[in-house]
Amino acid sequence: MRWSQLFIPTLREAPADAQATNHTLLIRGGFIRQLHSGHYSLLPLGLRVHEKVAAIVRREMEAIGAQEFLLPAMHPAEIWKKSGRWQAVGEELFRLVDRKGADNVLGMTHEEVFAEVAKEITSYKALPQIWFQIQWKFRDEPRPKGGLLRVREFAMKDSYSFDVDEAGLDSSFDAHRRAYERIFAALGLPTIAVQASSGAMGGSGSTEFMVPSPAGEDDIALCRECGYASNLERAQAQIAELVDRDLPDLMRFPTPGVRTIAALETVAGGATAVHQIKTMVMVLDGEVTLALLRGDHELELQKLADYTGAADVRPATPDEALKWLGAHPGSLGAVHVEDLRIICDPALRGRRGLTTGANEDDWHFSGVDVARDIAVDDWADLRRVKAAEPCVVCGMPLEVLRCIEAGHIFKLGTKYSSALGAFVLDRNGKQTPLVMGSYGIGIGRNLAAVAEVYHDDKGLVWPLAVAPFDVVITILNLKDAVSRRASETLYQDLLNQGIDVLLDDRGVRAGVKFADAELIGVPYRVTIGPRALAEGEVEITTRSTNETLRCPIGLVVEHLNEIVNKQKR
């Protein structure tokens, strides 16, 4: 294509609103424009990259036998009520009422609709099936951010596997895992597969594909030694043995003004944090619950939500704490509390000689024996792992990494098929619900992740696989007829080889062309100028290395064809 005819509105400066690297560079390079928060227009350049990402995903899905569908983006509320997500999902689900007064939803994923279609699978003989689509999803995110990383409408490849039993599901799941590894390799994204929470979707075997990046929103724990990797939402670590203090008797003591763990460490009669109990008053779907942790440990909210199955988890307000426990935060404890559910982290199991709030402002207990003094209802891992703690598997120090979630696969089981009535007959003639898996990759998010990983101070540095163009031909002097002729010939020849080539035939100065070519990140630039041309040569510059080599003009096509098509294979 000819640059002079394309709409590529490059910007010297990025809008003040753009913060994330992918955001500023995609805006400056003329790939995207924001319409409003969480909604972006893909401009021609952005769409080209988007489609190349989608094509890679499509190719690898088809390679595992997946069939492409296109389902409606808008659904009747009825199927969401059947699956239970109408209630379970909450405000993230876009809901709208049509002229007849009927409730509708804009799909955030398509388990319900695919399960509806899957009702027509009636025999185990038709299984397994893997179905996918690349379709727009809508999510009323509380806070869109990071350019294309977190938005309210976006294209997602979602696939669903249908099997007659768990063994079949395992096999479909593994096929997806391998397909995803190939997809991310093709995109040039270094991913780490981690154990994850399946959140509101329900299911098990939840695995996320994470790209380490400071622009990400998830933290993972990673062991370089044994390969243990988990989202912090469910990561575990070993806990060193502790010797309890010898304080056999429960004692109330005054602690005027002491409101924090840290303050309690230094006050007379206090205790270091490891000898304290942290009492978090939480409200789970409206029910007040106490979450107990060792003083130096932090609560991982998602673990609490996963364990209890609660959809809405929040800390109690100070007023609520006062109402239920009789004191304000800072003096709260679970000793002798009978009427509230108490969930306790295993780090406190069997511990004695502990210090905790006495549920009266300015008073604490010491000598607390968890087994003797606290009516624990549930023991559940609730603590958030911290960097450098020993790996739960091998004991080596864990690393904590900020990551972008590039893909997510998990085993749904029969939740949706049972709810929506998608049953088949098995080989014994017995009716059985389809066993489903669900697998997602956000196209735009992966585009953004590539941009986050591949850029430099001059702009984007697209891997060839997703670059908007493979090659840009930069004509330095448009008025030079020899240059023009050479450029046109080369342009046609490269097109004939199936290479995506952009001819920069704009009447602007060389510096502008160089800067723009670098900004939009085309992997290879052919510079056609009088200097080299006088010797029958052109220059080929590699964007990623900034290396330039001279090439006789007659060999350019062959040379580029070789490097471009070699990488594409």
By CB under 7 A, name the binding residues for RNA. 10-17, 19-20, 34, 36-38, 89, 92, 108-109, 137, 139, 141-146, 150, 156, 199-201, 217-218, 301-302, 305, 311, 313-314, 405, 407-408, 440-442, 458, 476-477, 479, 509-512, 514-516, 518-519, 527, 529-533, 539, 541, 548
Sign for the CA dihedral angle at 280, 285, 288, 292 comes to negative
Q: For the chain, first and last CA: distance in Å?
A: 23
Measured in whole angstroms, the distance separating CA 554 from the mean position of its chain's CA atoms is 47
Q: Which is nearer to RNA, 275 or 543 (CB)?
A: 543
Q: Choose among 293, 300, 257, 290: nearest CA to 273.
A: 293
Quote the least distance from Cβ 217 to RNA, whole Å.
6
Quote the least distance from Cβ 512 to RNA, whole Å.
4
CA distance 335 to 357: 8
Phi, psi (5° rounding) for residue 515?
-65, -40
Q: Which is nearer to RNA, 207 or 366 (CB)?
A: 207
CA distance 332 to 440: 43
Q: Choose among 28, 23, 45: nearest CA to 458.
A: 28
Q: Which is nearer to RNA, 238 or 548 (CB)?
A: 548
- Pairing of β 129-138 and β 67-68: parallel
45 is written with which tokens? 């350049």
Quote the least distance from Cβ 71 to RNA, whole Å.
15
Please report where in the chains the tokens 């098995």 appear, as a residue: 426
Q: Which is nearer to RNA, 305 or 335 (CB)?
A: 305
Q: Choose among 375, 446, 440: nearest CA to 404.
A: 446
Q: Which is nearer to RNA, 35 or 396 (CB)?
A: 35
Q: Which is nearer to RNA, 99 or 479 (CB)?
A: 479
Quote the least distance from Cβ 548 to RNA, whole Å.
7
CA distance 435 to 438: 10
Q: Which is nearer to RNA, 244 or 285 (CB)?
A: 285
CA distance 384 to 405: 19
Q: What 3-state DSSP class applies to 98?
A: coil
Q: Which is nearer to RNA, 373 or 539 (CB)?
A: 539
Sign for the CA dihedral angle at 343, 349, 350, 356 comes to negative
> 169 exposed, middle or buried (CB, 10 Å; 0-12, 13-18, 19+)?
buried
Q: Which is nearer to RNA, 23 or 351 (CB)?
A: 23
> 538 exposed, middle or buried (CB, 10 Å; 0-12, 13-18, 19+)?
buried
Q: How many other C-beta atoms are found inside a 10 Å radius of the C-beta of residue 420?
A: 21
Q: What 3-state DSSP class applies to 51?
A: helix
Measured torsion, CA atoms of residues 139, 143, 148, 149, in degrees rounded to the nearest 10: -90
Q: Which is nearer to RNA, 281 or 370 (CB)?
A: 281
Contacts of residue 363, defined as CB under 8 A and 6 or more positions apart, other chains included, come to 252, 253, 254, 255, 331, 357
Q: Which is nearer to RNA, 164 or 313 (CB)?
A: 313
Q: Which is nearer to RNA, 261 or 354 (CB)?
A: 261
Quote the least distance from Cβ 88 to RNA, whole Å.
8
Q: Choose among 208, 237, 206: nearest CA to 221.
A: 237
Quote the least distance from Cβ 121 to RNA, whole Å.
23
Contact indicator for 192, 210 with CB cutoff of 8 Å? yes
Contacts of residue 189, defined as CB under 8 A and 6 or more positions apart, other chains included, come to 211, 406, 446, 449, 450, 453
Residue 289, strand partner residues: 282, 341
**Can you point out the beta strands (E) in 9-50?**
32-36, 39-42
